[in-house]
Amino acid sequence: MRFPSIPTILRAFNTFSNTTFHSTPVSNLRGLNPNPRIALLKSSMPTIPFIGSLFSSSSKPKMSDSYPVQKNEGEWQAQLNKEQFRILRQKGTEFAGTGKYDKHYPSSGVYTCVGCDAPLYKASHKFDSGCGWPAFFDAVPGAIQEKPDGHGWSARTEILCANCGGHLGHIFKGEKFGNPKDERHCVNSVSINFSKEEGDAAAAEKPKV
């Protein structure tokens, strides 16, 4: 007895599968599937290429939104060191008590954004909260942006540089520290620089681009 060749078997199987599963109307599938709705659902499901597109990412660098300073990720990485990039652009947090400005209490001067040099806080805004991070009760007018962060019991308010969108830390209100605004701006030391020049504070309302 002579058996058919493998190519012949494959062609026959391909013809059978195309005829059975693609050409047969849903109404004629009752014998194969007791519920024709399932067959209809299967026929309308997306293909694998479509599913794959959900996990794809664009290779084009993304720009930050609605800020005077616009840089893509590569430009920020070239400008900032690894830790600055992690905190300022990836919203990281430095370990408590490790920042160089935690116990820094000058009588005058201004703290600026490490990403764009925009003045953020005056020395007179700083106070000792004991939290392990630099704390300020107020900011230079228009220098920061507040943004909801998290939901429910973990909800906080993030603070960003209004000039470049860099992550600074979080703001907490109503903690009764006795400062004029009853606020605590908990800021990462890595996100800021300090200048002793009072002239910088005078120009604080004009962020650099």
Q: Is residue 61 part of a domain?
A: no
pLDDT for the residue 11: 60
Q: Is residue 60 part of a domain?
A: no
Q: Is residue 42 part of a domain?
A: yes
pLDDT tens-digit map of 3-56: 555 655 556 555 544 444 444 444 443 444 445 444 443 444 433 333 333 333
Exposure on the CB side of residue 75, measured as CA atoms within 13 A: 11
pTM: 0.65
pLDDT for the residue 117: 97
In this structure, of 75-84, 133-142, 179-188, 194-203, the range with the lowest mean pLDDT score is 194-203
**Domain co-membership, 87 together with 117:** yes
pLDDT for the residue 133: 97
Q: Is residue 59 part of a domain?
A: no
**Domain co-membership, 101 together with 47:** no
pLDDT, average across residues 80-105: 96
pLDDT tens-digit map of 112-166: 999 999 999 999 999 999 999 999 999 999 999 999 988 777 789 999 999 999 9
Residue 152 parent element (H or E): none
pLDDT, average across residues 170-199: 92
Report the sign of the C-alpha dihedral through residues 34, 38, 44, 48, in that order. negative
**Domain co-membership, 111 together with 191:** yes
> Domain range spanning residue 30?
6-53
DSSP code of residue 133: S
pLDDT tens-digit map of 60-87: 334 446 899 999 999 999 999 999 999 9
**Domain co-membership, 86 together with 32:** no
**Domain co-membership, 102 together with 180:** yes
Phi, psi of 23 (to 5 degrees): -95, -20
Given a contact cutoff of 8 angstroms between Cβ atoms, the answer to whether 169 and 155 are in contact is no
The one catalytic residue in 116, 161, 164, 186 is 186
**Domain co-membership, 190 together with 89:** yes
**Domain co-membership, 174 together with 78:** yes
- Catalytic residue status for 113: no
| Domain count across the chain | 2
**Domain co-membership, 87 together with 49:** no
